[in-house]
């Protein structure tokens, strides 16, 4: 069944770290074009202000430039300077190809095991965020952004097999989910005993909130028929060869759409699974800013084994990713006691995690490889 969907909105793009990062990247594209960089102040202002915020937040960053600069010198550029440049900066035409590149850059920059980088901190500044609205309005009004409003498309799902991956033999989904639930329950109990309760302690561990590895994952096809999973990968490993097969899905498949933070909160509220001790240190850092700390309370993820009793799959739309990934999402009323939050982390936009076995994967294997043109731009053929 196809559901009529409205276009993606400016509010959705401005709501999440990944959406704002995509907007900033798009806004700077005009200045990257030949012969206009010296007349385009946005790039230099954003570069310096981003570095300043990263240094003030204690991030380990180094600045290079020409003419040579002192890498330890903190620039004077402020977010207000970037906001002013955004208000008047010329903008490129938001073609599907350009927006795909900007989204890929935002996805590639997602890091939930450490604090936000300078660009994410810059985009979160209230003045910059408001100035990005002009960019978001232009993007959302353009026909080239229509694909960002897409949801789950059952007739265009493909499964990717990365040649560089060394996955173990597949197991039944019910076994994967049961093993995951038992393992995380035990790990959480151990972490409560052995890990520091201080969320700011120098500790790291698992940081993702996806269903367990070993379950089938499909993705849709983009406007040019390339699988979206080739372009958009969080924490990518640099793999450059894959084969894609179309998947014939059951007509009665129950697919839950995550279209924004409210959908994710509802999922965690209905099927709560506490992972505070396992996630608190990474997610505290990931949700902090320059002056404000991250969320220091309880953390939840969906109990995927319980979700599987009611749904066959969970799909994260582009709008859901751009508006919600990387945010501390409040989950009210899920468990008694202190308030809780959750985080969408490690997900790729347009990914569908299947909580049941997929048996009809008999489509022709189509090989894909990453290529790079003379300008250094990457693509897939």
pLDDT at 37: 46
pLDDT at 33: 66
User: Which residue has 């490129």 as its token pair?
Assistant: 92
pLDDT at 32: 72
How far apart are alpha carbons 303 and 301 in whole angstroms? 6
C-alpha distance across the termini of the chain, in Å: 31
pTM of the model: 0.94
| Residues paired with 352 in a beta bridge | 218, 315
pLDDT at 161: 92
pLDDT at 73: 76
DSSP 147-213: GGG----GGG-EEEEETT--PPPP--HHHHHHHHHHHHHHHHHHHHHHS-S-TTSS-------SSPB
pLDDT at 179: 97
DSSP 135-159: HHHHHHHSGGGGGGG----GGG-EE
Mean pLDDT by 10 residues, the chain (381 residues): 68 98 95 58 91 85 65 83 95 96 96 94 97 97 96 93 82 96 97 96 94 96 96 88 92 95 97 97 92 90 98 98 97 84 97 93 86 79 87
Q: CA 295 from chain center: how many Å?
A: 18
Question: Which H or E run includes 132?
Answer: helix 126-141
pLDDT at 3: 47
């Amino acid at each position: 069944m196809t559901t009529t969907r409205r276009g993606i909105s400016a509010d959705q793009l401005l709501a999440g770290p990944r959406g704002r990062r995509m907007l900033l990247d798009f806004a700077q594209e005009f200045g990257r074009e030949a012969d206009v960089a010296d007349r385009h102040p946005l790039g230099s202002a954003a570069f310096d202000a981003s570095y300043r915020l990263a240094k003030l937040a204690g991030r380990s960053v180094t600045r290079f430039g020409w003419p040579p600069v002192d890498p330890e010198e903190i620039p004077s550029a402020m977010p207000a300077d970037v906001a002013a440049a955004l208000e008047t900066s010329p903008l490129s035409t938001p073609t599907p190809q350009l927006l795909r590149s900007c989204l890929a850059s935002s996805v590639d920059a997602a890091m939930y095991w450490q604090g936000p980088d300078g660009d994410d901190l810059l985009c979160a500044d209230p003045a910059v965020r408001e100035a990005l609205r002009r960019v978001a309005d232009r993007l959302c009004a353009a026909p080239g952004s229509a694909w960002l409003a897409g949801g789950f498309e059952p007739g265009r799902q493909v499964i990717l097999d990365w040649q560089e991956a060394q996955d173990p033999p597949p197991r039944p989904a019910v076994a994967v989910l049961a093993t995951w639930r038992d393992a995380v329950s035990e790990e959480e109990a151990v972490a409560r005993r052995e890990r520091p309760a201080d969320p700011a302690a120098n500790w790291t561990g698992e940081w993702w909130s996806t269903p367990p590895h070993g379950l089938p994952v499909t993705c849709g096809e983009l406007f040019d028929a390339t699988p979206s999973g080739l372009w958009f990968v969080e924490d990518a490993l640099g793999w450059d060869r894959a084969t894609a097969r179309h998947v014939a899905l059951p007509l009665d498949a129950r697919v839950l759409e995550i279209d924004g933070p409210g959908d994710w909160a509802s999922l965690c509220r209905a099927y709560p699974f506490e992972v505070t001790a396992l996630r608190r240190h990474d997610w505290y850092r990931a949700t902090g800013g320059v002056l404000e700390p991250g969320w220091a309370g309880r953390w939840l993820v969906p109990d995927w084994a319980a979700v599987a009793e009611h749904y066959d799959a969970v799909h994260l739309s582009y709008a859901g990713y751009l508006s919600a990934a990387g945010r501390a999402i409040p989950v009210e009323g899920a468990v008694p006691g202190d308030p809780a939050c959750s985080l969408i982390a490690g997900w790729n936009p347009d990914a569908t995690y299947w909580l049941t076995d997929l048996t009809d994967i008999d489509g022709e294997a189509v090989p894909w490889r990453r290529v790079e043109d003379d300008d250094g731009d990457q693509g897939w053929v």
